Amino acid sequence: MWTAVAVLVVTVVVLLLFRANKRPAGLPPGPFSLPYIGNALQILKDTSKGAFKKYTEAYGGIMSFKSYGVWTVLVSDPALMRTGLADPVASGRTDLLLLRKRDSIIKGRECPALGIIGTSGDVWRQQRRFTLRTLRDLGFGRNTMEPIMQEELDELLQLFTRRQGEKVDVGLLFNRSIVNVIWAITIGKRYSYDDKKLEALVEKVNKMLLTFNPLHPALRFRWVKKLFPNLSIIRHTEGYMAEVLAFIEAEGHQVEEGLAGLGRRLQQDAALRGVLEEQVRQAAAAEAGRRKVVARRKAMEGARVALEQEVLVVEGEVAEQQRRTERQADAASRRLCEAVTEGRGQLQLLCPQARHSTAPKLDKVLKWLEQQRYQQHKAHHKVSPGTAEAADL
């Protein structure tokens, strides 16, 4: 009886092993796997990186393995990677409990898968399209990223020069450079290599990556986490992830506060600019008014000069007319006096007897003529008393 039981058990085990290692059509070859758990124990005994390296050396650039009843294809050849990732059929993603935990930490509640690592189908295509477009806007794949990377490279070379002859963890320094470049692209800020914040962040990321093993049951099945909540891999992985996300969120808040402060300063600058523009407009209007006044004054000054010139011309013409009139009056007076004198002389010669009787009357006439002549001179020339006396003489 026991022989039959043993044969039955062996038969069942063989059948299970055969069925466990029976690959679907089209899958590449791979290592021997156990029923259900597949190659998970082999990978957990080593790190994922070490186990996959051994598989690649044994089976080439493409192979398959099984874990928890799911077949997985591992591709390590770059040419095959490009060909496979370009096919939409290979765009599916495994629903990992760790990524669910990350999404719940980000959202603060249970939510559908986020990002491009843990999503598939239309969601993955939309997230990928948005990510690539945003990265291009930030300068990814363009020459605008070159100054950022050049600055980071110069800083790294200077650090190597300062620490020449010392033991240096190159991987840690390279990770700092990568984090700095990503940080500079996303929020426009970089950390010095001596900054404790950057050192703590890189250390947390490295520890999270070292402790992360996607094939660990605690990161694949919720019931394992419920039964063993204090497993070190759960505490370390989720703890480091929470700290990294908290750090990113704190930096994001600082950036938001900086942007808010910048927005307030821009509003103040805009208000001040409006006041300054108004003052400039008022000054321009005042300057335009001043220029108008100056132009008006220049026009009035030109009109005054022209008027003075016209007045001088008129005065010259009046003076010339007065001199001409004076000369004519003088000539007429001289001719009249000469005529009177000549007439008196002839009268005396012709009528000696009437000289004594008409002489007083003739003298009165002559005096009257002299007075009329003097009045004419005074009216036209406003002569001085000395001139009048000279005229009387």
The alpha carbon torsion through 158, 164, 168, 173 (nearest 10 deg) reads 10
pLDDT at residue number 67: 81
Residue 66 host element (H or E)? strand 62-67
Judge whether residue 349 has pLDDT over 80: no
| 84 and 109 belong to one structural domain | no
Question: Tens digits of per-residue pLDDT, 57-84?
Answer: 888 888 888 888 788 888 888 888 888 8
| 32 and 104 belong to one structural domain | no
Instruction: Assess if residue 29 is contained within a domain.
Output: yes
Q: Identify the CA nearest to 302 among candidates 314, 294, 290.
A: 294
Judge whether residue 160 has pLDDT over 80: yes
| 51 and 14 belong to one structural domain | yes
Q: Report the distance separating Cα 368 and Cα 333, nearest Å.
A: 12
Question: Tens digits of per-residue pLDDT, 302-341?
Answer: 888 888 888 888 888 888 888 888 788 778 777 777 776 7
CB-facing half-sphere around the CA of 264: CA atoms within 13 A:
5
Q: Which domain holds residue 12?
A: 1-89
Q: Identify the CA nearest to 97 among candidates 210, 215, 221.
A: 221
**For the chain, what is the mean pLDDT?**
76
Question: Tens digits of per-residue pLDDT, 100-154?
Answer: 777 777 777 777 777 777 777 778 788 888 888 887 777 776 777 778 888 888 8
| 34 and 66 belong to one structural domain | yes
Q: Are 62 and 79 in contact (CB under 8 A)?
A: no
Which of 105, 122, 137 terminates a domain? The answer is: 137
Q: Report the distance separating Cα 111 and Cα 154, nearest Å.
A: 43
Instruction: Assess if residue 4 is contained within a domain.
Output: yes
Q: Are 67 and 34 in contact (CB under 8 A)?
A: no
| 85 and 100 belong to one structural domain | no
Instruction: Assess if residue 377 is contained within a domain.
Output: no
Which of 137, 166, 194 terminates a domain? The answer is: 137
Structure token pair of residue 181: 């470049």
Look at 27-31, 41-45, 61-65, 138-142 and tell me which has the smallest mean pLDDT. Answer: 138-142
Q: Are 62 and 30 in contact (CB under 8 A)?
A: no
Give 19 or 270, the one with higher predicted confidence.
270
Q: pLDDT category, 366, cuts 50, 70, 90?
A: low
Give 271 or 90, the one with higher predicted confidence.
271
Q: Report the distance separating Cα 312 and Cα 10, nearest Å.
A: 144
Q: Chain-centre distance of CA 321, in angstroms?
A: 81
Q: Identify the CA nearest to 205 among candidates 168, 232, 177, 244.
A: 244
Q: Report the distance separating Cα 147 and Cα 205, nearest Å.
A: 26
pLDDT at residue number 378: 66
Structural domain count of the chain: 2
Q: Are 120 and 92 in contact (CB under 8 A)?
A: yes
Judge whether residue 385 has pLDDT over 50: no
Q: Identify the CA nearest to 116 among candidates 139, 93, 85.
A: 93
| 68 and 7 belong to one structural domain | yes
Q: Report the distance separating Cα 82 and Cα 79, nearest Å.
A: 5
Top-confidence range, 96-105, 162-171, 345-354: 162-171
pLDDT at residue number 24: 79
Question: Tens digits of per-residue pLDDT, 231-240?
Answer: 777 777 777 7
Q: pLDDT category, 368, cuts 50, 70, 90?
A: low
Q: Report the distance separating Cα 28 and Cα 58, nearest Å.
A: 12
| 40 and 66 belong to one structural domain | yes
| 34 and 77 belong to one structural domain | yes
